[in-house]
């Protein structure tokens, strides 16, 4: 069975040519990210992902995490791989140097994260949740909480979790009923149960830091009455090391469709007198702080979609090159050929590849915007970059994950009947990818956020700037790229039409607008992905015109043309679903389903 190989050439191209790595590393605080440092990190991450994490991916799927008497044992090899991960300093790559991090750009850590997710989705979830806990404590934690928890979270010696969902709450966090009772000195006793807690219990570290949503006794109803608490698995002794066991226990782990190597825990808080926790930030602002973690997690889940898709594509390509079946179309009596020569197999592989390249480019460009939002030297540049990143994060999450499910399904299809057999490994990628469109906010939640908070609330100010940028880039698709430019122009027209309709109707007919929210997210993702591929095509054309002979550049042109013909052409239909799709969606009586 083939192992994951990081597509370093493609990654470097996107980082340098599309995401603007040179500009990003010139920002204050990123001086250490010299070209040789960036290359060394990418090369070593590729080695670690391919040689250490990828071989464990199948192990985790076959021999998933096990629960017994509140104790969770991770899949064979995971604990040892995590120790290597921490010892090599990977956990603190993009974290604040004040607490032991390396302070490297989000753009670089995004490329590295893609490798972790592609090589071993289940393993990668543990450091991902820890990063969210770090971000929340960095912004809202007290000095004491930062000193107590951040050094070990940044190093990876301890891991972090995000405790939102409850049996009766689901995605409706207004229904959270876990309670926090004050006992003095800023300490609380936490009572309640949380479900779907990724790596809520495991054996890879000697402490787990839970960030928990709960209500204080006099809290108002709804989301305005939720507070955030830090609740460690082991209480800290005076010297900061783990001491007495806290009253939080794993009562079971879920049996899931995929990501079997990642334990998804049901945690009980306070069954033996109350779990000890301390308030993070101000009372009743917990949801606001938790969304710090959530926003980081949503972007990273988009990278999970990208990673799953890339792995499924790599496996499908290897199989298509090796599988001999049928003669070449149009050649009577010819020899049997690899299936990669059959037109429909090529169509499937290009459908996978083109979207992966678009997803990667959009994610990396969004990561660069996050770097500029954090470190640009003037406020106007920071604000513009932040608005762009905020607009694109639900697209990176929603469109990338939905695309990944289809891409992984195509990977099974390329394998034919063997794709449905577990021994080929193709099915695992489909099973693993399926959750990405659900957790950290379903696709509909991403789409509702996009049309409501990111478009209607600001009267489309940011997306209209993006549309103008897309039109400016599309103008360069002339000459031998004119066919791609025509497709892109038509797609942008469809996007702008849909945006105008959303702004005009959001207040007067919100149900109709929400009925088309997910089609709009797909529309925006397809057009934004085409924008990035179009930029890549212009660069490739210029390279070829200058005499470059590397097949990489010709492949860029072919992939972009395929994307234009097969995906940009979907824009007009999606726009019509946004504008006119509500009638059919809302007409059917509930009892008729």
pLDDT in tens, 383-437: 999 999 999 999 999 999 999 999 999 999 999 999 999 999 999 999 999 999 9
What residues make up the domain containing 489? 443-586
Distance between CA atoms of residues 314 and 5, nearest Å: 8
Which of 155, 178, 208 terminates a domain? The answer is: 155
Tens-digit pLDDT profile for residues 157-185? 999 999 989 997 766 666 788 999 999 88
Query: Counting beta carbons within 10 angstroms of the beta carbon of residue 79, is it exposed (0 to 12), middle (13 to 18) or buried (19 or more)?
Result: middle
- Planar angle of CA 201, 206, 210, nearest 5 degrees: 50
Tens-digit pLDDT profile for residues 27-71? 999 988 999 999 999 999 999 999 999 999 999 999 999 999 999
- For 196, which DSSP code? E
How far from 236 is each of 92, 229, 273, 312, 516, CA to CA, in Å?
A: 22, 15, 18, 43, 50
Would 307 be classed as within a structural domain? no
67 phi and psi, to 5 degrees? -115, 140
Three-state DSSP state, 488: helix
Which pLDDT score is estimated for 290?
Answer: 82
Q: Verify that 12 and 149 share a domain, yes or no.
A: yes
- Planar angle of CA 331, 551, 535, nearest 5 degrees: 115
How far from 258 is each of 61, 62, 195, 371, 440, CA to CA, in Å?
A: 7, 10, 17, 33, 16
Q: Verify that 144 and 279 share a domain, yes or no.
A: no
Mean predicted confidence (pLDDT) in 338-362: 98
Mean predicted confidence (pLDDT) in 585-593: 92
Q: What is the set of active-site residues?
A: 440
The domain total for the chain is 3
Distance between CA atoms of residues 114 and 4, nearest Å: 12
Which pLDDT score is estimated for 222?
Answer: 85
**Residue from 225, 221, 369 nearest 284 by CA:** 225
Which pLDDT score is estimated for 496?
Answer: 98
- Does 371 have pLDDT greater than 80? yes
pTM given for the model: 0.96
| Euclidean distance between the first and the last CA atom of the chain, given in angstroms as a whole number | 44
Which of 250, 268, 285 terminates a domain? The answer is: 285
Would 295 be classed as within a structural domain? no
**Residue from 367, 356, 378 nearest 311 by CA:** 356
Would 302 be classed as within a structural domain? no
Mean pLDDT value across the chain? 96
Check the CA dihedral 191-197-201-204 and report its sign. negative
Q: Verify that 86 and 116 share a domain, yes or no.
A: yes
Q: Verify that 121 and 199 share a domain, yes or no.
A: no
Query: Counting beta carbons within 10 angstroms of the beta carbon of residue 68, is it exposed (0 to 12), middle (13 to 18) or buried (19 or more)?
Result: exposed
Query: Cβ neighbours of residue 219 under 8 Å, at least 6 residues apart?
Result: 225, 226, 227, 283, 284
- Does 326 have pLDDT greater than 90? yes
193 phi and psi, to 5 degrees? -130, 140
> Looking up tokens 């592609």, which residue turns up?
118
Say how many C-beta atoms besides its own lie within 10 A of residue 143's C-beta: 7
How far from 154 is each of 40, 100, 549, CA to CA, in Å?
A: 21, 6, 44
Contact 120, 53 (CB under 8 A): yes
Q: Verify that 96 and 185 share a domain, yes or no.
A: no
**Residue from 169, 219, 157, 175 nearest 197 by CA:** 169
Would 425 be classed as within a structural domain? no
Q: Verify that 557 and 464 share a domain, yes or no.
A: yes
Distance between CA atoms of residues 159 and 172, nearest Å: 26
Q: Verify that 189 and 276 share a domain, yes or no.
A: yes
Q: Verify that 199 and 272 share a domain, yes or no.
A: yes
Distance between CA atoms of residues 292 and 431, nearest Å: 28
Distance between CA atoms of residues 284 and 215, nearest Å: 8
Q: Verify that 246 and 206 share a domain, yes or no.
A: yes
Q: Verify that 21 and 149 share a domain, yes or no.
A: yes
Distance between CA atoms of residues 173 and 165, nearest Å: 7
Q: Verify that 14 and 148 share a domain, yes or no.
A: yes
**Residue from 214, 493, 182, 529 nearest 354 by CA:** 529
């Amino acid at each position: 069975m083939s192992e994951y190989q990081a597509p370093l050439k493609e990654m470097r191209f996107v980082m340098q040519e599309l995401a603007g790595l040179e500009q990003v590393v010139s920002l204050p605080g990123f001086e250490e990210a010299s070209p040789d440092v960036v290359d060394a990190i990418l090369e070593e991450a590729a080695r670690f992902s391919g040689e250490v994490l990828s071989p464990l991916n199948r192990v985790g799927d076959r021999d998933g995490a096990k629960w017994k008497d509140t104790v969770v044992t991770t899949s064979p090899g995971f604990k040892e791989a995590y120790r290597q991960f921490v010892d090599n300093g990977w956990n603190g790559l993009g974290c604040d140097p004040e607490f032991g991090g390396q302070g490297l750009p989000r753009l670089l850590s995004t490329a590295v994260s893609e490798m972790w997710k592609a090589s071993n989705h289940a393993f990668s979830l543990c450091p991902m949740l820890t990063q969210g806990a770090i971000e929340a404590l960095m912004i809202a934690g007290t000095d004491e909480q930062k000193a107590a928890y951040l050094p070990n979270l940044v190093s990876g010696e301890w891991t972090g979790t995000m405790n939102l969902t409850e049996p009766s709450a689901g995605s409706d966090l207004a229904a959270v009923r876990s309670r926090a009772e004050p006992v003095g000195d800023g300490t609380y006793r936490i009572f309640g149960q949380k479900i779907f807690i990724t790596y809520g219990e495991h054996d890879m570290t000697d402490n787990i830091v839970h960030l928990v949503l709960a209500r204080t006794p006099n809290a108002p109803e709804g989301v305005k009455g939720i507070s955030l608490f830090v609740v460690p698995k082991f209480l800290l002794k005076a010297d900061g090391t783990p001491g007495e066991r806290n009253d939080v226990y794993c009562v079971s782990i879920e049996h899931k469709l995929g990501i079997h190597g990642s334990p998804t825990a049901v945690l009980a808080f306070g069954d033996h007198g109350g779990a000890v926790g301390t308030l993070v930030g101000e009372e009743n602002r917990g949801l606001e702080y938790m969304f710090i973690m959530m926003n980081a997690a949503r972007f990273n889940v988009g990278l999970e979609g990208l990673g799953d898709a890339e792995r499924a594509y790599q496996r499908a390509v290897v199989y298509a090159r090796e599988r001999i079946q049928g003669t070449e179309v149009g050649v009577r009596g010819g020899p049997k050929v690899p299936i990669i020569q059959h037109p429909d197999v090529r169509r499937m592989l290009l459908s996978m590849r083109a979207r992966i390249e678009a997803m990667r480019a959009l994610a990396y460009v969004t990561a660069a915007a996050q770097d500029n939002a954090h470190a640009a030297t003037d406020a106007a540049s920071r604000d513009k970059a932040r608005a762009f990143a905020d607009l694109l994060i639900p697209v990176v999450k929603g469109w990338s994950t939905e695309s990944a499910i289809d891409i992984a399904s195509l990977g099974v299809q390329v394998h034919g009947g063997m794709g449905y057999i577990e021994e080929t490994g193709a099915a695992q990628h489909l099973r693993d990818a399926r959750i990405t469109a659900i957790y950290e906010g379903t696709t509909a939640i991403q789409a509702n956020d996009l049309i409501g908070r990111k478009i209607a609330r600001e009267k489309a100010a940011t997306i209209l700037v993006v549309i103008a940028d897309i039109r400016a880039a599309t103008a360069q698709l002339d000459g031998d790229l004119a066919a791609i430019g025509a497709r892109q122009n038509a797609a942008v027209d469809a996007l702008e039409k849909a945006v105008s309709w959303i702004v005009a109707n959001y207040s007067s007919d919100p149900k109709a607008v929400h009925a088309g929210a997910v089609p709009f997210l797909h529309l925006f993702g397809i057009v934004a992905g085409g924008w990035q591929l179009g930029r890549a095509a212009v660069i490739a054309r210029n390279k070829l015109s200058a005499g470059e002979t590397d097949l990489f550049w010709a492949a860029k042109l072919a992939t972009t043309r395929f994307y234009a013909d097969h995906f940009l052409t979907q824009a007009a239909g999606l726009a019509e679903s946004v504008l006119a799709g509500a009638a059919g969606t809302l007409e059917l009586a509930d009892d008729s389903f």
